[in-house]
Structure 1
Amino acid sequence: MPGRLSLAAARQRISSGDIEPLYLVTGEDEAGMSALATALADSVEEDFRAFNVQRFYGSDGGVRLASVLDAASTLPLLSPRRVVLLLQAERVLAARKRPAAGAEAADDEEGESDEGGGEVKSPAGDLALLKVYAKSPHPHAAVAVFASGLQKVFEGLASEAAVVVCEPSFDALRSLAQEHGVRFEPGAVDLLRARAGADAGRLRADAERVVLYAAGRQVITREHVAEVTGRAAAAGGGQLWKEIANRNTAAALREMGLEFDEGAVPYMMLGLLRSVVERTVASRDLPRALDLVLRTDLALKTSGGEPRVLLERLVVELCGMGRA
């Protein structure tokens, strides 16, 4: 049903299978927006996501709304729907006000003032196309457009699309606890809030990292929080190297997830994995391990898959090999 939805309401509907054909998502809670994108992608059965989930990034040169909607027109394969995500859509749908020298030309474009950061100039073509699509979206697809700073533009389409405004909230701990079936001890809550201060976005991000780290535990303690949030001062990748060297697959994948959450660079991660191969893999498995590293390197350089997925697969393979 079109209209304005909270982030929690949108995620609840998606988890129950009530998925809208068009989502317009904006706000300042980047972690919340990312979680919503993941929930939509996960609504497609895992075995068929490669065929039915497509992501576009506004930061990629040449990406336009027309190409996104064209992808949505393709019928799903062995699935009830396709999911098409346009992330960083503000790069496509809006451009900041031009300098004075270009003011005359800028006046020829449609403009709209939005909260935070001055006037926003919206390219008429892409916005007009979005408005046309909102009137008659493809029933076999779920299209989600994620853009910062376009709340007023999106709310103007609330009668025809699901508009989700993601704002940081200090209720994040409660919602995460309910979502993952865990309980935060008072000491854990106090430490998370003390570290985040007034930054609700950081509170949610830190809490999500702690939940990931404590996967399988029903109670989140102060010690869990201290270990995860204190990692920034530690040598990057050290614990990941150790877990792979010890062939602890689950722990290694958990550490890799934390490294990515902290902004690890994929190529640096690959270098760390190569070090593990050279120093810990048995000689009988070494040729295959090095071949996997080279294949992963090539895939990273040629956009042969999502970096995190490629590296996680490599970790699983390495943890199954003999030790030197």
Structure 2
Amino acid sequence: MGRWVTRGHSVAEQVRRGEVAPVYCLYGEEEYRRDQALNQLLDALLTEGARDLNLDQIRPGEPGMPSILGSARTLPFLASRRVVLIRGVEDLSKEQQEDLLAYLNDPSPTSCLVLTGKRLDLRTRLAAAIQKKGILLRFDRLEADSVKESLMATAKEQGIRLQPEAISLLMALVGDDFRQLIYNVEKAALFVGERKEISAKDIEALVGETRVRSIFQLTDAVSGRDLDLALRCLTSLLGSGEEPLAVLGMLARQIRLLIQAKALQEQATPVSRMTHVLGLPPRVVAALAEHSASRSWQQLTGAIQSLSRADLAIKTGKAESPVVLSGLVWGLCRV
């Protein structure tokens, strides 16, 4: 009965129709949409009143967590099914994966496994078994055009028009963190009130002129390998209360822009066309083209890896965020 469904709300609709798979796996880097789909699925699988007694949440590797198989084999209480939610599918041990494989050969008709996480190796036997027995949902980061469409749709749902210039500025300031982008659109909708339109000036007013200037100075300094200016901008942003992950998102977006610019350059794309593709002003695109030309693909790949390591270090608390970001900026200015 294995199926591959691309949209989270489709799965929830199937469950409401009584089509319940023994296992679901929601994975991918786009956390906001993944969490949305997970909440929709859980709402469809269990009523709010049944969750306390029939929802087990397990994080592999954490001490004191109940057994996955023990939870899955437990009968539901005053409900039609029991749900076992496993957060962090990438952290499952080999033994736990083998246990799940054995379970999926004979799943309980009154239990449903839901796995979620950032990564899933599709080459593993577990991934093959999930695809055969249940449903896989993959949530990749959206391309820029899809992000813009989603932000415009979010604003439209609230009866607000989001100007294209406002979207470009917001993405430049926030980076590619979809959750933060949606949050800022919702905040801007409240800010404009009855005017029913969000302009670039509204976004700048919400963010603050000083912060806008510091953000652009930071990303420009990193692109231009100006380490002294980049570190001063970073210190200013963190000192003014900027969220470390938001700063990381801005830096990640800048490196991705450099990668896009380099790819377009290698296709002999003129700056006028690059301006349209990237959705940025000509001056900004010209600078990106210049800075990307001075970097090799190996250097840009290394920058992406550095961003990934910094993201993990900040989220797991392995090191203080200012230290992580300072080291990251130093490294990015040296590639």
Q: TM-score, normalization: structure 1?
A: 0.49
- Per residue, is there more helix in 1 or in 2? 2
Structure with greater contact order relative to length (CA < 8 Å, sep ≥ 6):
1
